[in-house]
Every structure is written in C-alpha cells, then in structure tokens.
Copies of this chain bind each other. A is one copy, B any other.
Amino acid sequence: MAANSQFSMALHVLAYLAMTGDENVKSDCIAESVNTNAVVIRRLLGQLREAGLVRSQTGAAGGTRLSRPPQELQLCDIYKAVCDGKVFALHARTPNPECPIGRNIEAVLSELQSAIDRSVVERLGEYSLADILTMVEHNSFKDAWSV
C-alpha cells in the first residue's frame, strides 16, 4: 500500500462509466468491479468531479456518469485530476547555499522536473478514454502503444 494507484483506479472507474453509457452508476457497483470499498470510489469520483470529468447526483436513483463522451476525455486530463504530476521530488531539505553546487542545483532540478513532467502529460495526451475502452473490450493491446 504505498505507491500511487489513483491513476489506475481512475482509468478503471472511467472505463466502467464509459461502458455503462448515459446512466447513473452507483459507487457500490464500481467498487465491486475495482474490488475495493465504495468510499474509496466516492473519494476518487470527488476528484474527477472537481476536474469536470464526471457528474454526480445525490439521493435515491443517484449515481455518477461521464460529463463528456469518452473520445473527448484525454488521459492527461485524468492524470492531472488525480495526481500531483511529479515524476520525482526535489530535495527534502534545501541544500547548502555556501556550496557552488548546493546553491544552484535546485533551480536546475526544478527545470528538469518541469520538462519531464511535461513530457509525461504530452504522451498521455495522445490517448483518450475511448482508446482505453476499445483496448479493454477487445483485449488487444499488443502494438497499441506505439513505441
């Protein structure tokens, strides 16, 4: 229970909603598919809702559905909705400013961090939720992720 599986769960949840189409889906149903607790799902849906990716209704007959068709949901939007988007972290403590390296390394690392994070987002932007759904339904992912 350590690394961040939020993105994986989010894709699972959204693929499920894409499959069910334009109807309210209960968090219990999703939780059963993901094999976790319904509250975990509702927490995740909360982030997706904030990002405008899904809509929810409270009350009886309530539930959640996609706010846009799967073709219009890019993976980078999903990633940004549930992750902080940092591939690596900067120093925990600020380095020694009296050292020539320590004085300047943070600025350089920060730029590098931005560049790497940006490349991840760009790569994820090449695919939509519809692509994921297609691959899941056909179970044919071979050759799908162009190298």
A residues contacting B by CB (< 8 A) are 1-9, 11-12, 15-16, 19, 32-36, 75, 79, 83, 86-96, 99-102, 104-105, 107-109, 111-112, 114-116, 118-120, 123-124, 127, 132, 135-137, 139, 141, 144-147
CB proximity of A63 to chain B, nearest CB, Å:
16
- B120 and A15 within 8 A (CB): no
Taking A101-B136, A104-B139 as given, write out 19 further A-B residue pairs in contact, using a Cβ cutoff of 8 Å, ordered by the A residue number: A3-B86, A6-B88, A8-B90, A9-B91, A12-B95, A15-B101, A15-B105, A19-B100, A32-B96, A32-B99, A34-B102, A35-B94, A75-B112, A83-B88, A107-B141, A108-B135, A111-B141, A114-B145, A119-B119
